Every structure is written in C-alpha cells, then in structure tokens.
Structure 1
C-alpha cells in the first residue's frame, strides 16, 4: 500500500510504522530515502541539505549495500599519477588513480612518488597469493576429540571441498589450514579462491554448508561460523604470515640522482629512516604494520572505488624495505593482506564504477590489475613520505598543504 510522504511521517510519529519499514509504503527506494531523511530532519532539528544531494540510484543500493538510507556523504576525490607498472606478464600499465580523502598533502605526496617511479622506469609488482578465508570455532567433548576432528578434516578434505563448492560457481576451496586447537575448541581456517569478487559473502555461505556437513558426520557443536581465526577486519600476525585477499610485493630501484633531485635527500638517509622508523620503531611498539602509512593510500583508493573500508585495517599491515644498492635506492613494499574486488559489493555504485573505469579495472578479469595498481600507489606514497622524513620536509608539507 503506497502512502504519501506526510501520511508515512505521521505513522512514523505515532509508531504505526518503524523507520526500517518505510520501503513497504513508499513508491520506491528513492522516495523512501527522501522520506526517511525528512523524518530525521524533523526529529533532530537539523537540515540535511548536503546529505540529501546525490546522483546514485538508491534502488539497488538499498537492496545490496545499506539499510535505513537517508542519502550519501561526499568525500573529495582527486587523481594521482600516472603511475607506471611492469607486471609479471611483461605488460606495462600506465594509469591515473582516483583517491578519495580529506587529508591535505596526501595526493601531492603520492603524486610525487608516482613521478619518482616514472623517472625510474616504472615499478614492478608481483601477486603472490589470492585467497579469502573463513574460520568457524567448533566445540568438541575433550582434547582427544579435538585432535580426532582435526585429523578427520584433513582426511575428508575432498568431501568437504565438494560440499562447500556446491554453493558457488566461482569459489574454490584450496585448503583447510591451519587448524588450531585450544583446549577442546577447534578453529579450522577455510581458504578459498574467489575470482574477481572480494568473496566474503561467498566464503561465508560455502563454509556454512561445509560445517553443516561436518556436524552431521561428527559429534561436535559449532559455536560460531566465524571464530576470529579468519582473521577478518582486524590486524593479525596470521594474516601477515599466511596472507588474505591479495598478497602483493611492489618494488622500484631509484637512481641516486633522482633521489637527490626529486626527493631532495639521499639513498643512505632513506635507508636509515626506514630502518629506524618502519622496522625498529614498529617492532618496539608491537605493531603489525612495519611501514609509514600504507593505510592512507589503501583507504583513499578503497573509498573512491567502492571497496569495503573496514578492510583498510588489513591493508595497513605489511613491510617496507629500503636498501642502498651500488649508490642507488632499492625500495619495496609487501602487502600480505589486501582484500579487493572488481565485481560485487560497493563496486556497483555509480561513483565507484566511474573511478574504476578511469583505470579500466571494472568487471570480470580485472582484479589482478586493480590489485597491482593499489600496490603501486602504496609504493608511491610510502616512498614519498619516507623521503620527506629523510629530507626533513614532512612538517613543511603539511603546513603548506594540509592546514
């Protein structure tokens, strides 16, 4: 039954309709968004003029991306680059990269890093792994049963794999490893390939089907589908070692004269800053991020391209290395845990589609290219910041651009 705006707001005020039920009475999701926003304006006494201005269609957005929507936010989007990437397939990628942020000086810094990479003949990127994980927690009767369950999973992997993969056309169960035991609790880590999708929903559904099968075959109790051994959206030594999402390494060798002319410092100074700050400083603080600011670049690209921003906490872990090689600077970043997608989730949003089209990474078959571009931008931003620290320019840049 369709009602007009005033009728719906009246019923919201009286409690006859709950705020999450507006779609049942509005003509469509776009009208429901407007009504909900007007109701919140009335309740809060706040005019939502800018939140209410947007161009995306809320129809699919309300079905797939958000609930109780009232509009959108706007984050400034800029471009860095072009960045030049040499792939493992001997292909050359040259592209501008959209980045959304409110931090002044970030894009200027990344842009400088891209300039250094171009002048050095481009960077090289290798994709080491592609996997998404889900790890339930299972309760057994005692430690002997826990050990037996671990062995049962190992010997019945093919059956579990068949059951899990029956739920998806694209996901492939690679392994169930590691399998951790704590007392009588068992944590099997299901590891999948997920194609161009980031795959969290895919592996969740597949793992649920697999543990249903395991419960039928064993005297166990599944406490939770996720036992935090996945590890999803949290910094983790396990993800640092085993990898999650895309695991990548990007590197560039910068000639000494380019370090001096563009970064205004020396290879020796950059190596010293990286050692003292990124390696020793991170170690003494107990950090999982042995880097200067991976999260800055990952977050900015994620926001522009419709990736899950909560996965920035995973994308922020990793290691930066720097070496003086015959007077030149060798510089690399390792991203062990970068969950990215070119289909599904927020990638379907109109603004995300446009951002990804700038790089020609939207759709099937493009996820490796997209991951490589993200890695190159992290490399560029990291190189520029460590260079600025080595030259003593960080505070000046933020004073001029970030205030």
Structure 2
C-alpha cells in the first residue's frame, strides 16, 4: 500500500501562446499530458493564431473562491431559518473561526438552502495558492463545531451536503462560482481567419450557435455551451498536478463568437477553474519542473501563482476550442486530423 509509482501519460509542450490581461502579460509554452495526440497540433494551431493578433488572448480573472457545503439537521424549518439569520449577523465571528484553522483560508461568503428541516450551508473561501479542497474542508469542520456549540436546535448531518458542488455538473457553481473564474477573448483579423484557420468568422459564429448553444440545449447541458473544454483541461491538469476530477465542473463553460466585419471575436468563459500550485500532487518532480517552467513558482503575493496558472489554463482552452470549431466548419477535416495523428503504424510506416 505504501509503494508509489506513476502512470506514464504522453506529454508535449505546445506554444507559445501570447497572453495579456489583468494577471498575465507573457508568451508561454504550456504542457499537455494526454493520450489524445491530435490535441497537441490542434492547440498548437490555436496558439499560433494568438501570436498573429494585436493583443493575443486577453484573459481577465473575474473572481476566485473555493467552497464546501455542510449539512445540518434542524428541529424544523423555522429553527433552520433562525440559525441562518444568526450566522449572517455573526459573520465576523465565523471569519475568526476560519482564521484560527489556517494561515491562508479566509471566509468570504455564505449561502444557504432550506429543505424541510434540513439546512445546507455553502461556505466560500479564498485559499491562497492552494486549490483549497482540504483547506475548505478543515475550515468547514471548525465552523461545524462552532455552530453545533452555539446554535441550539441543529445537529450534525454531513461535512459535505453536495451544495458545494465538488466534481459534479450543477448550476450552482456557474451561478455562484467555484475556483477561479476566467474570461478569455481573442480578436482575429479576417485574413488570419481565412488563411490560417481556413474558415470565415460567419461560419464559426453560425456553428457556435447551432452546435454549442442549440445542440447543448437539446442535450440538456447544465450551464455549459462549448465543444471540448474538458480535453484541454484534463491534459493541462495532469501535467500540472491538479485533481483531474475537477474537470467535471471546470468544463462547464461558454463559448461566444461574433463576426465583426469579417474579423472573428472568439471568447471562452470558464467560471470553475480549480487549480493550485501548492498542496497534494505538486510534490512530483515533473510537476515541479512544469510549474517552474510556467512561471508559477515565482515569488509573488499569496495566490499569485495560482492565479497565473488559472489564466494559462483558460488561454489553453481557448486555443483548443478555436482550432476545433474552425476545423468543424470544414467537412471531413476533423476525421482527417484524427486519422493522421491517432492511427497506429506498423514498423514499415503503413497504417494498420
């Protein structure tokens, strides 16, 4: 049980990506660990496009928070309601409880739902450079103890009530946020769209409406309208030591495109990027090397390295999303790419 080994996943560096915005102003290569080998040239094509535009990918970090919801059983709904009223009135005291549990965790908000006599409390924290899973759970443990000691008529239900929501596709994360919320934008000149992406702005906009918006609506998608965010996120997460299961909520994002007189405005909004540069999974040597090369081991204010990493992840997603959407405007291009980069070959180079 104590033996440690590593599963080998093929990894390549792709880039450079040109990124500007409120967190990053840099040109960087990014590591992608994946068995889906067409992802490397696809993201690479999107990355090249970013170097041919005036500002590259403009990435704006909108918000950041990690959440944990606890479940309490109250005597009745009225008791649950009065408990919430008291907790909100004593919010500063709750913040002091959290401060005593961690050097970096800070309680920034509280949301609730009452169902019958069940009280769901959703605590929201900032967690420095950590993704914050364990930090938020530890803080919630302390908050739970404080509530049970000071609030009559409520009892322990669970340390996690699924109103967080961790690694599940839900609406609440898109509405309230979980992790880093990053919006990426790219304005591509008409000639670059036509000569490098082999399509037009009108075609990409039309496909985005029909595929990502209407198609996802028909499929019953939850707070999501994109082609394949999960592909880039999984590859980026595995290469940087993240909890890969967080691509479930991480891939709930929205692609938006506009035809601006033949120029293509292309945007990806990712409200649930859960990444960190310290904590579990970051001790592996290859992860440390990758984070260092990404510039995420620098001396910055607390949280600065994690913010940079989230922006790099979001920009990577845009590159892959743009490339795939452009490809799908052309009949047969997607399959040709997969055939070229995925089908195994024999020793004499003939495809089997």
Bin of the TM-score, shorter chain as denominator length: over 0.9
Q: CA deviation at 1:391?
A: 2.0
Q: For structure 2, list consecutive stretches of 5 or more residues without a partner in the other structure.
A: 344-352
Q: How far did residue 367 of structure 1 move?
A: 1.3
Answer whether contact 1:163 1:209 (CA < 8 A) is retained: yes
1:322 match: 257
Determine which of 181, 196, 206 is the counterpart of 1:247: 181
Given the alignment, which residue of 133, 139, 156 partners 2:67? Answer: 133
Structure 2 distance, partners of 1:285, 1:134, is 29
1:81-100 → structure 2 map (5 Å cutoff): 81-88=15-22, 92-100=25-33
Correspondence for 1:301 among 236, 239, 247:
236
Structure with higher RCO (Cα < 8 A, 6+ apart): 2
1:203-257 CA-to-partner distances (Å, cap 9, x unmatched) read 1111111110110112211210100000011111100111111000000001111
Matched, 1:207 2:140: yes
Matches within 5 A, 1:93-242: 93-121=26-54, 122-177=56-111, 179-218=112-151, 219-242=153-176
TM-score (norm 2): 0.93
Q: Which has the larger radius of gyration?
A: 1
Q: CA deviation at 1:402?
A: 2.1
Give the TM-score normalised by the residue count of structure 1: 0.81
Which segments of structure 1 move beyond 3 Å, counting only runs of 4 or more?
none
**2:349 counterpart residue number:** none
Aligned match of 1:12: none
Q: 1:378: which partner in 2?
A: 317
Q: Shift of the alpha carbon at 1:292? A: 0.3
User: Which blocks of at least 5 consecutive residues in structure 1 are unaligned?
Assistant: 1-19, 21-31, 34-68
Question: Quick check: which one's helix share is greater?
Answer: 1
Question: 2:21–2:60: 8 Å Cα contact kept in structure 1?
Answer: yes
Contact 2:200–2:262 (8 Å) recurs in 1: no
- TM-superposed CA distance for 1:283, in Å, is 0.9
CA distance in structure 1 between the aligned counterparts of 2:307 and 2:26, rounded to whole angstroms: 12
